[in-house]
């Protein structure tokens, strides 16, 4: 019997995972079948993420170095940099703008009080995260002994070392062509292994979603229904309307075309809630299905997975307004501008792992004097919201690689 295509299997896996998770949730956490099911799902789901993480570091390292090295001419390298960073900052700015507009219009949390959540906030101590310190830490984390960074799986530091290596290879011309050939073969081999890992993706994604849905805290979800609706609504607006529109305007590619090529990565991001774990799949989609040249994809996608996070930026701004409403403070225009800027910095600094945005959100709250402890209210629902914002984060990276490619080709022609 012929199996359906991998894309279709992944979609079935996701739908089936949500249904089975809801069934286990209905049985209750004490039910033996539910316990066994969630245990098995957790084993399979973790195995899938482990495999993706295993290949992540060699893949990122080779892909960035090769990507940069293949942008042979200097001025082309410069243009890729500038275009990519401009795209990242603009798309995140639009996302934050949407969140602020929606937050001011719908005012989620107005009429509720922080005191209502006293129970949730007990025992929660927010970590201090002042902006100068955060910035210093971020900067300090950029340049690390590459062997340490590779062995620790420190994506940001691996990215910066690979960037430098790539630049050195460009500068040297043909002198180190053996090293470049080695890296190119390393990249091809890593991609081959990603292909194998993807064969179990339908199962892995199903397992991750079973666990997520089965363990969801429904009570908190309904208390915060309005906030959840505003966040989900704006995130969807950004992911389904804004980003596809940007893609269409710049490249003429339709949303359907994009969805067909990108869905493996989008569904994996949804299930893993981690841009980093999804990165091998995102690279595969960009270069194999969306026809982004390896030199562009190899640079834009890994960099995007670490710093370009539209969904996270949007969420951080929306949550700041929500918490301000809970405390009964109306944020002034200036304060909202500070939220705008810090939300962008916090999103850029958040690593691509589950709930990372929650940690860096402290920065946004503190910048306008809101109580960071209020994050405790959002924690129980975070895993659920993280699914969607990670999907939009990953979508932004792929759209970015297509737009950058188009802008550069226009310039070259
Ligand atoms: N989970 C997100 C990501 O990996 C980061 C976040 O928590 O917002 O992209």
Instruction: Name the residue ranges covered by the structural domains of the chain.
Output: 6-412
Q: Is 349 in the pocket of ligand 1 (CB under 6 A)?
A: no
Taking residues 229-254, report their average pLDDT. 97
Radius of gyration over every alpha carbon of the chain, rounded to an integer in angstroms? 21
Which atom of ligand 1 is nearest to 350's Cα?
Answer: 5
Fold of 6-412: 1.10.3860
- pLDDT tens per residue, range 202-216: 999 999 999 999 988
Phi, psi (deg, nearest 5) at residue 393: -55, -50
Q: Is 353 in the pocket of ligand 1 (CB under 6 A)?
A: yes
- pLDDT tens per residue, range 62-109: 988 998 888 776 667 788 889 999 999 999 999 999 999 999 999 988
How far away, in angstroms, is 37 Cα from ligand 1 center? 26
Per the CB < 8 A criterion, the answer to whether 268 and 278 are in contact is yes
What crossing angle do the helices spanning 6-27 and 255-272 adopt, rounded to 10°?
Answer: 40
Identify the band that residue 122 occupies on the pLDDT scale cut at 50, 70 and 90.
low
d(CA 114, CA 110): 11
- pLDDT tens per residue, range 345-359: 999 988 899 999 988
| 317 pLDDT more than 90 | yes
Q: What pLDDT, on the 0 to 100 scale, is given for residue 112?
A: 79
Q: What is the pTM of this model?
A: 0.90
Phi, psi (deg, nearest 5) at residue 3: -75, 150
Q: What pLDDT, on the 0 to 100 scale, is given for residue 1?
A: 61
The DSSP string of 89-144 is HHHHHHHHHHHHHHHHHH-TTTT--GGGGHHHHTT--PPP--HHHHHHHHHHHHS-
Q: Which of 216-230, 261-275, 382-396 has the lowest mean pLDDT?
A: 216-230
How far away, in angstroms, is 357 Cα from ligand 1 center? 6
The token duo for 362 is 């402290």
Q: Which residues contact 60 (CB under 8 A, 6 or more apart)?
A: 155, 158, 159, 162, 279, 302
């Amino acid at each position: 019997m012929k199996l359906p295509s991998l894309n279709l299997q992944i979609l079935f896996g996701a739908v089936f995972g949500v249904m089975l998770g809801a069934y286990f949730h209905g049985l209750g956490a004490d039910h033996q079948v539910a316990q066994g099911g969630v245990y098995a799902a957790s084993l399979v789901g973790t195995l899938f993420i482990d495999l993706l993480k295993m290949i992540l570091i060699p893949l990122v390292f080779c892909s960035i170095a090769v990507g940069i090295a293949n942008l042979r001419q200097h001025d082309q390298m410069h243009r890729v940099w500038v275009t990519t960073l401009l795209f990242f900052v603009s798309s995140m700015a639009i996302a934050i703008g949407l969140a602020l507009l929606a937050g001011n219009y719908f005012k989620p949390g107005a009429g509720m009080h922080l005191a209502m959540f006293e129970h949730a906030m007990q025992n929660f101590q927010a970590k201090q995260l002042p902006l100068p310190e955060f910035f210093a830490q971020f900067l300090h984390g950029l340049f690390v002994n590459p062997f340490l960074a590779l062995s620790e799986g420190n994506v940001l530091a691996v990215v910066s070392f690979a960037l430098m290596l790539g630049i050195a290879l460009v500068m040297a011309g043909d002198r180190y062509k053996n090293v470049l050939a080695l890296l190119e073969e390393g990249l091809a081999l890593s991609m081959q292994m990603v292909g194998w890992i993807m064969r179990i993706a339908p199962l892995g994604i199903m397992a991750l979603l079973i666990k997520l849905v089965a363990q969801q805290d429904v009570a908190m979800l309904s208390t915060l229904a309005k906030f959840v609706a505003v966040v989900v609504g704006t995130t969807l607006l950004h992911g389904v309307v804004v980003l596809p529109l940007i893609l269409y305007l710049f490249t003429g590619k339709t949303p359907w075309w994009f969805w067909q090529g990108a869905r493996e990565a989008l569904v994996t991001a949804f299930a893993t809630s981690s841009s980093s774990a999804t990165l091998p799949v995102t690279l595969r989609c960009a270069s194999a299905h969306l026809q982004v040249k390896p030199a562009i994809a190899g640079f834009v996608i890994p960099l995007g997975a670490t710093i370009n996070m539209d969904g996270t930026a949007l969420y951080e701004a929306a949550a700041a307004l929500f918490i301000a409403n809970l405390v009964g403070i109306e944020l002034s225009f200036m304060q909202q501008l500070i939220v705008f800027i810090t939300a962008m910095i916090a999103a850029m600094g958040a690593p691509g792992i589950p709930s990372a945005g929650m940690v860096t959100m402290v920065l946004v709250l503190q910048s306008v004097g809101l109580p960071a402890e209020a994050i405790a209210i959002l924690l129980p629902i975070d895993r659920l919201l993280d699914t969607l914002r990670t999907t939009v984060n990953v979508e932004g990276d792929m759209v970015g690689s297509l737009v950058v490619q188009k802008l550069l080709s226009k310039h070259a022609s």
